[in-house]
Structure 1
Amino acid sequence: MSPGRRILLVEDDVLIAMDLADLLIAMGHDVCHIASTETDAVAAAQRLAPDLLIVDGNLAEGSGVSAMRRILARGFVAHFYMSGDTIQLLKAVPDAVVLAKPFTLHALTTAMDTATRARGGQ
């Protein structure tokens, strides 16, 4: 994946969000916003037009899956989900690109590359 992507991170765990944002920045990407709720994710996606969304499937306020459905209703944007429960997430979105938590750097970059190439998981 080429560096310089504008990434919207949707994660409600502050420590995971901060660590992942730091890692993405170190990789040369721009984390344009960290959303912690479904409502914030939808609004930020519309306002910021990111290149890629990295979305926690389960949020304390709302759902990452529901947020992506609302975002994708306006047009496709590359995205993938992160989840500690990949089986449940894939039941909800069978064609999704999913990164299992915890993850390795290799798994993260693979998910980013796959999501950028795919239009599935809508």
Structure 2
Amino acid sequence: MHALIIEDEFLVALNIEDSLEALGFTSRETVATEDKAVTTARHHPPDLITADVRLLRGSGIAAVKRILQEQTVPVVFITGNVEVVRQEMPEAVVVSKPFGEEALRRAVAVARARAA
């Protein structure tokens, strides 16, 4: 399984990568901008997306919305801006930073079930 990690903080991205590997994701790709996220998802469709709200350039929310126009994929937002996600995408699966592996595991299961 392949995960697209939309995150601009290097250490957070590494933590997400490690957690997803423990959940069985054998391929992980990290991007830090909205446009790169959209392009990457287009060229290598993910089985899961994790996204932060604020990025180096652009928005994780905007990136996810653009990607979901082209494909169906489970999404988990991992962010310190939970309320922003709730306002923009009320049905989104959200994990608050800092997060634990168990919280991410549960969120991934919910996101996958919703996308099925």
Instruction: Tell me whether the two structures share a fold, i.e. TM-score over 0.5.
Output: yes
Normalized per residue, which structure has more helix?
2
Equivalent pairs counted in the alignment come to 115
Q: Which amino acid is the alignment partner of residue 107 of structure 1?
A: A
Return the alpha-carbon distance in structure 2 between the equivalents of residues 16 and 50 of structure 1: 19
Q: What residue is the counterpart of 2:110 in the other structure?
A: 114
Contact in 2 for aligned 1:99/1:111 (Cα 8 Å): yes
Are 1:30 and 2:26 an aligned pair?
Answer: yes
Aligned counterpart in structure 2 of residue 71 of structure 1, from 67, 72, 97: 67
Shift of 1:83: 1.0
Q: What residue is the counterpart of 1:6 in the other structure?
A: 2
Contact in 1 for aligned 2:5/2:13 (Cα 8 Å): yes
Return the TM-score normalized by structure 1.
0.87
Gap regions ≥5 residues in structure 1: none
Q: Which moved more, 1:16-25 or 1:33-42?
A: 16-25
Aligned counterpart in structure 2 of residue 93 of structure 1, from 89, 93, 99: 89
Shift of 1:24: 1.9
Gap regions ≥5 residues in structure 2: none
| CA RMSD of superposed structures (Å) | 1.3
Return the alpha-carbon distance in structure 1 between the equivalents of residues 76 and 21 of structure 2: 18
Shift of 1:103: 1.1
Return the alpha-carbon distance in structure 2 between the equivalents of residues 70 and 88 of structure 1: 17
Contact in 1 for aligned 2:23/2:105 (Cα 8 Å): no
